[in-house]
Amino acid sequence: MARVYNFSAGPSMLPESVLNRAAAEMLDYKGSGQSVLEMSHRSKVYEEIIFGARDLFKEVMGIPDNYKVIFCQGGASTQFAAIPLNFLNGSGKADYVLSGQFSTKAYKEATKYGEIKVVGSSKEQNFSCIPELNKADFTPDADYFYICQNNTIYGTRFTELPDTGNVPLVADVSSCFLSEPMDVSKYGVIYGGAQKNVAPAGLTVVIVREDLLGNARDYTPTMLDYKTLADNDSMYNTPPCYSIYMCKLVLEWIKNLGGLEAMKLHNEKKCSILYDFIDNSKMFNNPVKKSDRSMMNVTFVTESDELNAKFVKDATAAGFVNLKGHRSVGGMRASIYNAMPIEGVEKLVEFMAEFEKNN
């Protein structure tokens, strides 16, 4: 069967060349006579994989030396608790921006551990924009300031980071990881689940400034203490070995294509094709504030739920799958992460034009 164009928000498409490479190495990884799925994480051959992935992360993202790259499990959602447990350790206060469902979940989790202030929310606008922020509302002695940088469900993103001064900025980048260059030095902590743009599910990557480590609350579960993981090269226990291997292959793929600058151009091109079409369409509409539009998750609706459902059904039949919007917002969403080729978006737009003509 031909491969479909998969617009899933996550787990999502992986580059075909990466899948082919993984398939070729499946039974015998580099002459080891075993699959990466089977090997000991304490073996020399696996160490090359995990350290290689870590070093490539540093290289591809240009991560400064005073940051640690940690591989962990439990998904981004586990970090909603790990963040306050590790960093809510001075004043016990933190500021959160509510720009969607994931930041709201993270906020609720954090309120179990300290005094958490909402410094901006776009809930009233159905999260169709990034909230306006006023620096005067920020807590000067907060232990950290939290944002979700790209809102997967609503299709919005921060195009400018809040100026938090000396307060470390913590960002959930699950759905925009590795999609464009980032100035890591502007953040205290960057983290994301890998299954959107980095690797298969099972791996969560945390990038943390070293001086923020070592002050986790005493009741923090050992496995959630970032220092434990950092001190043990992410191998305090068995890491998600295969996802880390896939992550390494994806990083090599990005590097070979010209790095994050090239990814950015590739992604900008794709989202412009889609947004331009939607803006000129009489049937489809993007419900998001223009200046806050995501590059990775493009949401769109027609005038009725029936027509939306018909679109999703017809698109699926034509080989464009997982276009149904998140259950909490309805409509459609095309997630166009790094691995989605330009051709996939061009074909989708052709299909949308045809659908508009016929309906």
Q: Return the structure tokens found at 254.
A: 């990005």
Please say which residue, 10 or 200, places its beta carbon nearer to ligand PLP. 10
Q: Which of 5, 10, 271, 299 binds ligand PLP (CB under 6 A)?
A: 10
Please say which residue, 244 or 352, places its beta carbon nearer to ligand PLP. 244
Beta carbon of residue 152, minimum distance to ligand PLP (angstroms, whole number): 3
Using CB under 6 A as the binding rule, whether residue 193 contacts ligand PLP is answered as yes
Using CB under 6 A as the binding rule, whether residue 240 contacts ligand PLP is answered as no
Q: Which of residues 110-149 bind ligand PLP (CB under 6 A)?
A: 148
Using CB under 6 A as the binding rule, whether residue 294 contacts ligand PLP is answered as no
- Among the listed ranges 69-77, 115-123, 282-290, 343-351, the one in contact with ligand PLP (CB under 6 A) is 69-77
Using CB under 6 A as the binding rule, whether residue 174 contacts ligand PLP is answered as yes
Range list of H helices, 216-295: 226-231, 241-256, 259-280
Helix (H) or strand (E) holding 67: strand 67-72
Using CB under 6 A as the binding rule, whether residue 77 contacts ligand PLP is answered as yes
Q: Measured at the alpha carbon of residue 171, what is the angle toward residues 165 and 173, in degrees to the nearest 5?
A: 145
Sign of the Cα torsion 235, 209, 156, 88 reads positive
Q: Which of 175, 179, 308, 322 binds ligand PLP (CB under 6 A)?
A: 175
d(CA 183, CA 272): 24
d(CA 182, CA 201): 23
Give the residue nearest to ligand PLP (CB).
75
Using CB under 6 A as the binding rule, whether residue 102 contacts ligand PLP is answered as yes
Q: Is 34 exposed, middle or buried (0-12, 13-18, 19+ CB in 10 A)?
A: middle
Q: Return the structure tokens found at 26.
A: 């499946």
Name 336's Cβ contacts closer than 8 Å, sequence gap at least 6: 7, 267, 270, 271, 274, 296, 297, 298, 344, 345
Beta carbon of residue 114, minimum distance to ligand PLP (angstroms, whole number): 21
Beta carbon of residue 153, minimum distance to ligand PLP (angstroms, whole number): 8
Using CB under 6 A as the binding rule, whether residue 75 contacts ligand PLP is answered as yes
d(CA 303, CA 62): 44
Please say which residue, 75 or 319, places its beta carbon nearer to ligand PLP. 75
Beta carbon of residue 79, minimum distance to ligand PLP (angstroms, whole number): 8
Please say which residue, 10 or 344, places its beta carbon nearer to ligand PLP. 10
- Among the listed ranges 13-21, 70-78, 85-93, 264-272, the one in contact with ligand PLP (CB under 6 A) is 70-78
3 state SS of 70: strand
Using CB under 6 A as the binding rule, whether residue 152 contacts ligand PLP is answered as yes
Task: Please check whether residue 274 is in contact with residue 349, taking contact to mean a CB–CB distance below 8 angstroms.
Answer: yes
d(CA 326, CA 312): 12
Please say which residue, 34 or 77, places its beta carbon nearer to ligand PLP. 77
Using CB under 6 A as the binding rule, whether residue 7 contacts ligand PLP is answered as no
d(CA 12, CA 7): 7
Using CB under 6 A as the binding rule, whether residue 107 contacts ligand PLP is answered as no
Q: Which of 18, 60, 76, 116 binds ligand PLP (CB under 6 A)?
A: 76
Q: Is 55 exposed, middle or buried (0-12, 13-18, 19+ CB in 10 A)?
A: middle
Please say which residue, 81 or 352, places its beta carbon nearer to ligand PLP. 81
From 332, 331, 319, 339, select the one nearest 4 (Cα to Cα): 319
- Among the listed ranges 72-80, 107-115, 303-311, 322-330, the one in contact with ligand PLP (CB under 6 A) is 72-80
Binding region for ligand PLP (CB under 6 A): 10, 75-77, 102, 148, 152, 172, 174-175, 193, 196
